[in-house]
Structure formats: C-alpha cells, structure tokens
Chains A and B, each alone.
Chain A
C-alpha cells in the first residue's frame, strides 16, 4: 500500500512481499479540522481494516491533544494527485495573470481603505 503521495520508485525497487503482505491493512489518509473552523487539513496516514477503525485509530494517533473536532479518513488509493512533472503547464498560466492580485492596481491614498 502506498499513499497518493508515494514515490514512483515503488514498483521497480520495492522487494516482493511474502505472506506478511496479505495481512497489511489498507492505507488511509487522514484529514482533521482543528478547533477554529478552518478546513480539514491532511495530517498523515494510517492503516486500518475499515473506515470505522480508520477513524478510531485517527483519533488515537492524531488527536491526543485536542488537535481536532472532525476527522475524515479516505482510502489512499481513492485520491488522485497531480504529478510534479506537470508543474509547468499546471501553474504557469496563473503567473501571467498578475491583474488577479489586488496590488496590480494603484489606488490613490485619498480613496481610503479598499
């Protein structure tokens, strides 16, 4: 099992697994919303047999000190992730639209807060 973030080297270099492999529980990615109403944030991953257990384990592993008020557990294999090679084509177009940033416009001081 590997996370959506896993290294692409996995298939080529990881050792083949024997019977231990059969008992490895699926991997879940854990997202937690903190006390202050912000969005859920990725905190890490863990192994669990099913969703219910993933949430229970997430409570023990990731919220021992009131770190959160809500937990999402998502099967790692269900997450689609962009790849670093796409960085150029994905994000470059954002760079040439500088007018999207408010600082692009000069507003005179007399106008007041804007």
Chain B
C-alpha cells in the first residue's frame, strides 16, 4: 500500500501471558477497541513501527504529487486543470496530516524529510512509474487512489488516535480523487478511437503496479501478524487486493476496457475473481530504487528542498526580527 513492507520486531506476537503488566494492559486496551494517545505508554516496537508506517504513508502522498503534477500545465481544459490542481493540493494536505500524526510519536518533520531525501525511508512503489499521457491521470485517480482507499478506509479504526483521525480526514477527501479519475476514463473510453486506445493503454500500464500497491502476500509474515495484533494494519494484503479486483473489474467493463489479465475469471465458489499476481520481482526491484522514475522522483524532492532552503531560513529570520522589534516596542 502507501506503506509497503513495514518490518516489525520480527519476533512474532507475544501472548498476553508472556507480557509484563504494562504491555498487557496496553494490548488489552487495543483488543477492547480503545485508542492509544501520544502520551500513553506504548511498547518501543509499536512506536517505531508506527513512525515507519505513517512516515512512509506521508512520503507517498508527497511524492505522489509528482506524477500528477506532471500534467497540470498540459490538462486538456481549464476545468480539468483546476480539478487536477485541487486533487494534487489535497495530496499535499494528506502528507501534512500524516507528518503531524507521526510527529506526535517523537520524530521531527526535518528528520523524516531527511530520511526521505537520502533514500533511507521509502514511499509507495506506484509513484516510480511514469505518467505518459492524459489518460494516465484517469487511471491514477481511478486505480491508484482506488487502491489507496481500500487500505485507508479500515485504517480509520486503527489503534493510534492521531493516525486514525488523520485517516478520517483523508478518507473524506479521497472519493473526489477516485471519481475525478473515473470521470476522465469515461470521457476517454467513450471518445475517439485514439482516446479509447489511450485509455486502454493507461489501464494496461497501471493495472499490475496498482495490484503491487498492496504488497506481496503476507499470510505467513510475522511482521504483519504483529501489526495486526496492534491494529496498525487491519487486513492482510491479499484480502485488500481481492477486494480491489472485485470492485474494479466491473468498473473496467462499464468503460468497455479490458483488464490485461488473460486468467481473470469470476469464481462463483469464493464469490470473487481469480486473477494473476503481478511480477513480484519487478516490485522488489522498484523498491530497491530501480523503477523507471525512482531517480527522477528523489531528484525532484531534493531539488525542491535545496532550492527552498533560503525561503525557509529567510522567513525564520524575518519572524525573529519581528519578534524582537515587538519586544523592543513594549
């Protein structure tokens, strides 16, 4: 998802009896559906895991602005341009809500930014793919935001209060994102043959990377088991992927587009589609930094940070000067 391959302590989930009284009380509170707030006691692993997960989620929102930002100046109409601008601005907001949730865990914004810029912290694999045509704006909203929603809706119930509250705000805004994307797809799919072709091509390129967003199967993963016990992960990757496919295939059919999977078939027994797995080697390769746009994305973020430095410092100096002048006048 927006946070992929988050590693926990790796020790496996302790039973209540193995926990000391403090940790046991913490776990029982989570089991009972209670929320953990920043000043409450929490196991070090819970705190560290959450910083990684929320931080990675925040970085994804921020880097995720780049592939769509790519088309703002080339949107086909003024209205589409205004819509895309508003959508991308929302993503900046999502990043900010999440950074401020992560900051309550005792990490600073600058630290997270530095870890993103140095490549130490990751962002979702999906944003390392290029957006080649206007139809990609449709595919991204429809599929990428659609997959994000699948993951974010259950996270509104996550155990960490500030994270859950950030998710509530985000989810309120996401459905606009997905609908504006689908709206672009409808226009393209029902347009000229060239537009249709573009729409199909966008679906072809974004289908498997979207499935990858959920991460590889984690049925057996101790990291996921721990995260689920802590309720910072609410579903397995496979559950969410299945849900996404089941929801999306009929939407593709409505558009008259073909999902690029010859094995895609309705399975009456399980009440869902059978479908092909994405290429997990490609996924790991993209995570390692070898996707088509990894270098470009990190360069863009580093450039923005470096070029913005004089502004950050200048405004801080200006604020200090004003403060001193005010004190002197008093």
A interface list, Cβ under 8 A from B: 1-3, 5-10, 13-15, 17, 20-21, 23-25, 27, 44-47, 49-50, 53, 60-61, 64-65, 81, 83-84
Q: Across the interface, do A44 and B166 meet the contact criterion of CB distance under 8 Å?
A: yes
Chain A residues whose CB sits within 8 angstroms of the CB of B8 once the complex forms = none
**Can you report 16 A-B residue pairs in the complex whose CB atoms are below 8 A from each other?**
A5-B38, A6-B104, A6-B106, A9-B106, A13-B47, A14-B108, A23-B309, A44-B96, A46-B96, A46-B100, A47-B109, A50-B323, A53-B315, A53-B319, A60-B89, A61-B97
B330 at the interface (CB under 8 A from A): no
Q: Across the interface, do A49 and B108 meet the contact criterion of CB distance under 8 Å?
A: no
As a 0/1 sequence over residues 82 to 104 of chain B, the CB contacts with chain A under 8 angstroms (1 = contact) are 00001001100100110010011
Count, chain B residues at interface, CB 8 A = 40
The answer for the CA separation of A99 and B266 in the assembled complex, in Å, is 62
- A43 CB, nearest partner CB in chain B, Å: 8
Kindly report which residue of chain B lies nearest to residue A53, judged by CB atoms: B315
Q: Across the interface, do B103 and A44 meet the contact criterion of CB distance under 8 Å?
A: no
**Beyond A7-B38, A24-B108, is A44–B100 a contact (Cβ under 8 Å)?**
yes
B263 at the interface (CB under 8 A from A): no
Q: Across the interface, do A45 and B111 meet the contact criterion of CB distance under 8 Å?
A: no
Chain B residues whose CB sits within 8 angstroms of the CB of A50 once the complex forms = 315, 318-319, 322-323
Most-contacted residue by chain A among B39, B111, B318 (CB, 10 A)? B39
Chain A residues whose CB sits within 8 angstroms of the CB of B103 once the complex forms = 1-3, 6, 27, 45
B20 at the interface (CB under 8 A from A): no
